[in-house]
Structure 1
Amino acid sequence: MRTVRTGGGLSLRLDLRVVGACLLLAVLALAAAVALIGSGDYPMTPAEVIATLTGGGDAGQTFIVQDLRLPRVLVGLLAGAAFGISGAAFQTVSRNPLGSPDVLGFAQGSSVGALVVIVFFQGGTVAVAGGSAVGAVVTGLAIFLLAWKRGIQGYRFVLVGIGASAMLYALVLYLLTKANIVEATRATTWMNGSLNGRDWDQVWPLAAVCAVLLPLLLCYGRPLRMLEMGDDAAYALGVRVDRVRVVVLLAAVLLVASGTAAAGPIAFVALTAPQLARRLTRAPGPNLLPAALMGATLLVAADWSAQRLFGADQLPVGVLTGVLGGGYLLWLMATERRAGRI
């Protein structure tokens, strides 16, 4: 830990391990992004990718990078960051490592919203994304209201979310039975979560939401760190607990909704990214920035791995993160059980 003094008598405490971890994750995310841009039916070396991004490629390389592959990578980076930081916010507010949007029903709520648009309105890509966002937001508000009882208690919040997840999953199955074969295929493809075919229409709305809400959540890092000590301690330190919870949860829900609308319900990134970031930094608190960078790195690296292992566009990235994240969830639950917390 190092204290840096600034003008005006202010001082800033920096954890050098956290700073180093953030720099490492940023470098890994950029490296994975360059590797992903260079992958596909027309492979490119990292040098060619960087030259094209800086304006030095030929016309064919420029078209492939800027029109076909760069939007996919940007959606992966932004959605991964949105999932990672929202997962850290949820886990901090609930004071439970299982308090993640993946577990609490937000993916199912998004799926219900998207399926309603697909099955009953035959909506296009933009309409499906809008339905997904609305479904996630409505789910978040419903869980928050059902869990509220003179405040939000961690395990009550998680239990309500798990119950909502089960009910929404049943609704997803019902909607699939109402769909014809074409609609059901389209819905199933969307629910797997994928970065395939993403273009600038998905990038700009997600970038706008992240530009507003990521800094907002980062500004709440100190109050969230105090919330981990308990409500009484936070109140004593001047934290307006209920206001912090409402603002943080609302921002996190909107980030999850926007990321899911752009990339589909990518499984378990929001669950694993905060936990891995905390193990890397070994620092207390929500670790919001490391969790965002870890989420971006995980999602882009998983998409690159899926292409390398199974070929371009053969395996949706949500399937790979689901397999890996499911194993991590089992390990986490076993660890929590041995520690006597569940």
Structure 2
Amino acid sequence: MKAIRTRAGLSVRLDVRTTAVVTLLLVAALAASVVLIGTGDFDIPAADVIRTLLGDGDAGQEFIINDLRLPRVLVGLLVGAALGLGGALFQSVSRNPLGSPDVLGLGQGSTAGALTMIVLFQGSAVEVAGGALVGGLVTGAAIYLLAWKRGVHGYRLVLVGIGVAAFITAVNGYLLTKADFVDAARAVVWMTGSLNGRDWEQVWPLLVLCAVLVPLVLVYGRPLRMLEMGDDVANALGVRVERTRAVLLTASVLLTAAATAAAGPVSFVALTAPQLARRLTRSPGPNLMPAMFMGAALLIVADLASQRAFGADQLPVGVVTGVLGGVYLLGLLVTQRKAGRI
């Protein structure tokens, strides 16, 4: 930790390692984004991609990059950042590394909303996204209310979330059995989680939401750090525990539901990004900024790997993140077992 004093006499504490990790993750995400924009049936060199983004490309490259590929990459960055930040919030509030949207049922709730629009109403892409957003918000509210008992305890939140996830998973299975062949195929593709076909219609709502929620969450960074010490300690330090918890959970639900509405339920990013960020920074606390940039870098790199290995639009990014997340969890279990913790 390094203290920096300004000319006005203000003193700012700066964690050098965390700052370096955030900078490197940002550079990695942007570099992978440039390579990803140039990847496809018509490959474009990275130098030409940068030149076109700066407004100095030819007409053909501008159409391919600005109209077709740039929106997909921006959706990937925003979805990854939203999932990473949402996962960090859930894990910090619940004080549990398994307290992620993947485990607590928010992804399943968004899926239920999307399936309802696909199977029962044959909704358009916009209507499916709206259904996913509403489904995630309703699920988040239900989990919070069911977990409430003179406050919301972290372990109770996780247990209720697991129960709700199991129930909604059964509902989703029932909806799939009621669908005809075309709707069922469309629903399964959506449930995999993909960036294929994403355009500016998905970029702007997600960008506005992140622009509003990210600063709000960062303002609550200090109370959240105190909340991780326990409700009694946080109360003694002057934190309004339930108000802080409600605001942060609401922000996390909105981020997760919006990300799912934009790209489908991309698995394991919200679970692994905060943990990987914490291992890199070696810093206690929620690590909100590192988790956010880690999520963005993870999703873009996963999409780039899928396109390089299988070709454009052949393998949804949700499959790649699922494989990477499963390998990470297995490695974590082996490490914990060797350490004698499980």
Alpha-carbon offset, residue 7 of structure 1? 5.3
- After TM superposition, the score normalised by the length of structure 2 is 0.97
Query: 2-side partners of 1:172 and 1:331: how far apart?
Result: 30
Partner of 2:138 in structure 1?
A: 138
1:246 corresponds to: 246
The answer to whether residue 262 in structure 2 is matched with residue 262 in structure 1 is yes
SS of residue in 2 equivalent to 1:229: coil
Are 1:87 and 2:87 an aligned pair? yes
Identity %: 68
Q: 1:156 — aligned with what?
A: 156
Match of 1:69 in 2: 69
Give 1:338 shift: 7.3
SS in structure 1 at match of 2:3 = strand
Number of equivalenced pairs? 342
Distance 1:112 1:340, change over 3 A: farther
Alignment RMSD: 1.4
Describe the superposition over 1:249-278 as per-residue Cα deviations: whole angstroms up to 9, x where unpaired: 000100001111111100000000000000
Alignment gaps of 5+ in structure 1? none
Tell me which residue corresponds to 1:274.
274
- Aligned partners of 2:7, 2:200: CA distance in 1, in Å? 42
Deviation at 1:48, TM superposition (A): 0.6
Deviation at 1:113, TM superposition (A): 0.2
**Following TM superposition, by how much is the alpha carbon of 1:150 offset from its aligned partner in structure 2, in angstroms?**
1.3
Distance in 1 (alpha carbons) for counterparts of 2:259 and 2:341? 31
Q: Which residue is equivalent to 2:229?
A: 229
- Equivalent residues in 2 for 1:294-333, closer than 5 Å: 294-333=294-333
- Name the CA shift for 1:144/1:332 in 2 (closer, same or farther; >3 Å): farther
* Cα shift at 1:195: 0.3
Instruction: Give CA deviations for 1:135-175 in whole Å, capped at 9, x if unaligned.
Output: 00001010111111111211111111111111111111100
| Secondary structure class of the residue paired with 1:12 | strand
State how far apart, in whole Å, the 2-side matches of 1:287 and 1:197 are.
32
Letter paired with 2:89: A
1:76 aligned partner, one-letter code:
G
1:45-194 equivalences in 2 (<5 Å): 45-194=45-194
Shift in alpha-carbon separation, 1:138–1:266, aligned structure 2, 3 A: same
Q: What does the per-residue CA deviation read over 1:87-121, in whole Å, with 9 as the maximum and x for residues that have no partner?
A: 00000000000000011111110110000000111
Q: 1:147 to 1:339 in 2, by over 3 A?
A: farther
User: Partners of 2:90 and 2:323 in 1: how far apart?
Assistant: 22
Amino acid across the alignment from 2:121? F
SS of aligned partner of 2:77: helix
State the alpha-carbon separation in 1 of the partners of residues 230 and 150 from structure 2.
Answer: 15
- Which segment drifts farther, 63-72 or 236-245? 236-245
Structure 1 ranges of 4+ moved more than 4 A: 333-342
Matching residue of 1:34: 34
- 1:58-103 deviation line (CA, Å, top 9, x unaligned): 0000000000000000000000000000100000000000000011
Deviates more, 1:226-235 or 1:261-270: 226-235
Q: How much does 1:10 deviate?
A: 2.8
The aligned amino acid for 1:112 is A
